[in-house]
Every structure is written in C-alpha cells, then in structure tokens.
Chains A and B, each alone.
Chain A
Amino acid sequence: MSEAVVSARGLRKSYRSGDRNLEVLRGADLDVGAGESVSIRGESGSGKSTLLHLLARLDSLDAGTLAWGISAGPGPRGRARFIGMVFQSYYLIPELNARDNVLMARRILGRPDRAAYVRADGLIARVGLAQRAGHLPSQLSGGECQRVAVARALMNSPRLILADEPTGNLDEQTADSVMDLLLSLCSETGTALVLVTHNAGYAARTQRQLFLHLGVLNPA
C-alpha cells in the first residue's frame, strides 16, 4: 500500500444511553493509502458514521490512536485542508446558491481569491451544474444537491474524502450517477475515499471492502 493518508489503531468509542454504556467501536483498525478507495458496510447503528467522525476528528476517541498523513495542520483548519466530507443529507446551506456553497469550504480558510472562484466554477461544471450555479438548494433536486456537496468536499483539494451514505436519500438512477461522479473525481484527483454505504454494489466498486461488525472492522 502507498503512504497512508490516515492510520487508525484500536479505535474505541462508547456513548452513554440512559444507564447503559453503549460501546460502538471496540478496537477498529484502518489504514487508507493515498488515492485508495475503501468502502465500509455494516448494520444500521453499527458505528459507521461514528467511525467517520472519529477519522475526521469531529469527535474524541475513548482509546486508540489516529494519525493523519502528511501536510495536515492542527485543529479545524487542518481538517478543512486535509479532509472533505459528503453526507447522506447533503447539508447544503439553504441561504447560499450552489456556487457559494462550494466556495464556503474555501471561505472558512480565508477570503477566497480569484483562483478559488475559478476552481469553484470548474468543480460546479465538472459535476454537471454549470447552468445551475446560481440556484439555491431549494431549487435543486436531491441528486443535484449531492453533486454540489461532492464539489464542496473537493474544493480545498483534500487528501481524503469521507462519504457517509452519500446515496442514501437518492433514487437508484440518481444514486448511480452520483456514485459514478464521486468515484471518478476521486480517481482523477488522486484523492483517497472512505465510503460508508449499505449498497453492496457500490461497495464493490471501491478498491477495498470492509465490514464493521461488533465494533471491529473486518475485510468483507
């Protein structure tokens, strides 16, 4: 495997649920190489989203070690440069049009320069929404919203994309096209991908397939 973009060892995470301590991850190990695509499947509630949040350092580990690859700075800004995220529910900002939603990823790092605008327009065009760049999310279909979310995830040229059931809210045909787009863009840009999905077909299109069961990752 090429140089690891992210390396996790013995990740443990539990939540309090009433009086009970719900242990979601019980020592998950994961290495993702540069440009590699990995899929993770598992039952609902098995901890797939929790694992992605831990990999993105959006949540704290109970135990284990997590290392990001080269060039990731510390804190939220480091995350913004290193990781792009795609969610099932798109999470576009409703007050911003498609282009501004894509640019938002760059804006958080600082005032976007001309090159950033050009890149945003390029990404919007690449996901097939050049004619709809000025439309608000409420004026876009679910598939179009997810395309915008994919473009946003790629805006800062991250090393890793974490996609959490990106086709979960889409019909089959739209889901196929979004998945095609996501996989091809990651391949084109050499961006590593960790894809959480229930769909065995989409999982099969990644280079490595894993299954999360009882808080541990196993090869599918």
Chain B
Amino acid sequence: MPWYLYLALKQLFSSGQRLFFTLVSAVSVALGVALLIIVLSVMGGFGYEIRQKLVDTQGDVTVRASSVIPSAAAMESVIRKVPGVVATTASAQGFVMVEYDKKPAFPTVQGIDIDTVESVTPLGRYVTGGSLNDLDDDSIILSSILARSIGAEPGSKVEVYTPLALEKANNDNEILLPTTLTVAGIFEIGHQQIDSSTVIVTLRRMQDLYGLGHSVHSIEVKIAPGLDADYEAERINLALGRAEGTALPQLQGLEARSWAETDQDFLWVLQLEKNIMTLILLFVVIVAAFLTMSLLLVLVLKKTREIGLLGALGASRRAIAFCFCLQGICIGVVGTAGGLVLGFTFLHFRNDIVRLVTRFTGSQAILEQFYQFSELPSHTSGHDLAFVILAAIILSALAGIIPAAIAGNLKPAEALRNE
C-alpha cells in the first residue's frame, strides 16, 4: 500500500479523539446518504407503482380517435398484425350516477370486453370481493371506497343512471328509468382516486348505457415484454395509416399513444418532484462535506510540523496533498457505506416504522385518504443508487481538496519551524 494511503488510514482510524472526529464526519455523510436513499427510493416506489398502475389499467398503448371508433374488430385485426403486439381489447368510458339505498355516487364507468380484457390489463388481480369472471351484462363491479361509501357489497342491486337516459327524459319527456345491475365484485387498485370513483361494466352494457351501438371509445394494446411502448405506438400508427382507405373507415384524430405519452405531463411532474427533492437533500451531503473539510483543515493545522517531517523524509508535495485528499475520500466511502446500510435498513422496516408512527398519532385513515397509500412503496433504481454513491464520494473528495492543497503547499522548512 502506498505510504499516503497507509498514513491516511492510520490517521483516520487511530484510537481516541481523532477516531471520534472521523466518526462524526462519516456519520454526517452517512445521514445525508441515508436520507437521499430513503427519499429517492420511496419516491421511486411511488413512481414505479403509479407507472405500473397506469399500464395495468390502460394497457401499454391506447388507440383513440376524435370520435367513437365504429369498427373495433377490423381495427383490432390491423393492430394485432403489428410485430410486437401481443393482444388488444376494446373499451368505452363515461360517467354515470350510481345509487344504492338512496345513496348516490357519480363515478366514471369503464366498459370492458370481458373476453379479451385480461389479455391486455390484469384487471382480475385487483378484484377482491367476487370475481371478474362473474361480470356479465346485468352486473357491475364497484371500486372499494365507492362501495363502502354507498354501503353496497357483492350481491347488492344498484341503480345506474346515464347521461343518455337524462337526455331522453329531457327531450322526449320519457320517464327516467334507471338500469338495475347486481354487484358482481369489488376492486381495489390501491390508488385513492380510482378506488373512490370507478365502476366497471361489460362493453355491451356500456354501449347500451351510452347508446354507442357497436362503437367503442378506445382500443387498448398489450405489447411484448421488453419492447419500447413509444416505438410500438409509432408502428401501430404507421399500420393504421397504411390501412386507412381500405377496410377501415376514415377517422379524424385516430392515434395510438403509449401510456407514457398519454400521461407524459403527469410523469414529468413526478420526475420534477423527484429531481427537486434530490437537489434539496443533496444539500445535506454538501453540509456533511463542509464538516469533513473543516475537520481536515484543523488536521492540517495540527499536523503542520508532521507535514514538514514528511517532506524531510522525502515525501513529495503532491503525495502529501494526496494523503489528505484521501482522508476526505475515505470519510466519504465509509460514510456512504454506513449511509447505504442505514438507508436500506430503514427501507426494509419502513412499513413497520410508518405503522408505529401512525399508531401513536392515530393518522392511518388520514394517510390513506390524502396520500392514497397504506403501505409505503420503495423502488431503488440502479441509476439513483449510482448517483447517491458518486455524489457523496465526489463531494467528500472535493472537501479534501482544499486542506490537501494547503498541506501540499507547505514548505517543509516553514512547516518544521512552525510552533
């Protein structure tokens, strides 16, 4: 081992007062690193779950037009021929009023093709009470919070009012008769907004409720794992463009968009939030780096005569400077390692910690209501991990540079004269 590394390690990890100072510096770096890892992982977890739910609920690619799509089957057949496309399903969306036991709710309604939906979105995974297979044209699946709010459960008969019925009542003076549907199941995605205001019916029932005939609003597409959704959306657009004027009718605004493109504003906000949080928390590591620098500056002042001695023993100025710079790097490495252990330990027990805090504060329900989660998600990307490690070590190394430069610039004779 080169003498400067040997001496740096000996000086950092000698017993007594010096070891205490080293540990204080390393702990400050560790706390910054742990904080960064925890926050980035939790935010990453939210982002990952949100992205997963976006894909799970809307498929990898969605094809829409400005108007309704009248010939879904023909269009699906064109889309399915695009390389990389695994499956397609048609759907329609709208708003309804659901009433049960005199308690109304105004959720969005999703009409799904019961035969093909599972091949595109794993909706059945989220149905907790009952089963997606039980859904038929006379039944409905309610989201969990909505079901609780109106007191409905599987087997309950709810009344559904649509804008079409209201329109008829207004124009034709017909009596407004609701459609009665039986609750076939309850689903819970884990996203408060969806879980509190969504219902699912079959596509045929939706077409009937909205008077769509055989038309649909969109076609959801599943692509092969590992393929880029944006690239596949482009290929679908090309295929639909080529097919126009043939079997398919001309549709204004017909376009395939990936889930990421559809929700790009939302995803951008998520990324922005994460970036700003990273920047803010990076200041904790910067403060730790300044602490390291002040420690090393004190060390250089204290060791002035030793620096002179090293020069007298034949050490070059550059090697002496490197010895002190290495101490900054060592503090960074030890602090980063400690911070990673601390951060990942916290992440491992994160839900126990949240439960403990909410038990004392009695805030579990509020947490679910406003933050839309009951379990704290975590997803640490390799990119985030590399960023945190590099940032901490580089900042610590930078913290060592000024003391190192001072040490390296000391002339041995002057240093030896120093009292």
Chain A interface residues (CB < 8 Å from chain B): 49-50, 53, 56, 58-59, 75-81, 85, 87, 89, 91, 93-96, 100, 104-105, 107-109, 111, 152
| Residue contacts A-B, CB under 8 angstroms, 5 given | A58-B416, A59-B412, A75-B316, A91-B306, A108-B315
> CA separation between A187 and B315, bound complex, in Å?
27
The answer to the question of B175 belonging to the interface, with a C-beta cut-off of 8 Å to chain A, is no
Residue from A50, A59, A77, A91 in contact with B305 in the complex, judged by beta carbons closer than 8 Å: A91
Chain B interface residues (CB < 8 Å from chain A): 1-3, 6-7, 10-11, 14, 18, 305-306, 308-316, 319, 411-413, 416-417
A59-B313 contact, Cβ under 8 Å, with A95-B11, A107-B3:
no
Contact assessment for B316 and A76 in the assembled complex, using a CB-CB cutoff below 8 Å: yes
Q: For A105, list chain B residues within 8 Å (CB).
A: 313-314
- B322 CB, min distance to chain A CBs, angstroms: 13
Contact assessment for B14 and A104 in the assembled complex, using a CB-CB cutoff below 8 Å: no
Contact assessment for B314 and A77 in the assembled complex, using a CB-CB cutoff below 8 Å: yes
A107-B6 contact, Cβ under 8 Å, with A76-B311, A87-B416, A89-B305:
yes
- B329 CB, min distance to chain A CBs, angstroms: 18
Contact assessment for A81 and B314 in the assembled complex, using a CB-CB cutoff below 8 Å: yes
Contact assessment for A58 and B305 in the assembled complex, using a CB-CB cutoff below 8 Å: no
Contact assessment for A109 and B312 in the assembled complex, using a CB-CB cutoff below 8 Å: no
Q: For B18, list chain A residues within 8 Å (CB).
A: 95
A59-B314 contact, Cβ under 8 Å, with A91-B306, A96-B10:
no
Contact assessment for A108 and B312 in the assembled complex, using a CB-CB cutoff below 8 Å: no
Q: For A152, list chain B residues within 8 Å (CB).
A: 313
> CA separation between A105 and B315, bound complex, in Å?
9
CB-CB nearest 5 A-B residue pairs: A80-B314, A59-B413, A95-B14, A53-B413, A91-B309
A49-B417 contact, Cβ under 8 Å, with A76-B315, A79-B314, A80-B314:
yes
- B300 CB, min distance to chain A CBs, angstroms: 15
Given A76-B316, A104-B3: 4 more A-B contacts, CB < 8 Å: A53-B412, A58-B412, A58-B413, A96-B7
> CA separation between A62 and B315, bound complex, in Å?
24
> CA separation between A127 and B35, bound complex, in Å?
54
Q: For A96, list chain B residues within 8 Å (CB).
A: 7, 10
Contact assessment for A59 and B411 in the assembled complex, using a CB-CB cutoff below 8 Å: yes
Contact assessment for A53 and B416 in the assembled complex, using a CB-CB cutoff below 8 Å: yes
> CA separation between A104 and B313, bound complex, in Å?
8
Q: For B2, list chain A residues within 8 Å (CB).
A: 111
Cβ-closest chain A residue relative to B306: A93
Q: For B306, list chain A residues within 8 Å (CB).
A: 91, 93
- B263 CB, min distance to chain A CBs, angstroms: 58
Q: For B416, list chain A residues within 8 Å (CB).
A: 49, 53, 58, 87, 91
Residue from A56, A59, A108, A111 in contact with B310 in the complex, judged by beta carbons closer than 8 Å: A108
> CA separation between A40 and B265, bound complex, in Å?
83
Q: For A79, list chain B residues within 8 Å (CB).
A: 312, 314
Cβ-closest chain B residue relative to A96: B10
Q: For B3, list chain A residues within 8 Å (CB).
A: 104, 107-108
A109-B10 contact, Cβ under 8 Å, with A59-B411, A91-B309, A95-B18:
no
Q: For A104, list chain B residues within 8 Å (CB).
A: 3, 7, 313
Q: For A109, list chain B residues within 8 Å (CB).
A: 314
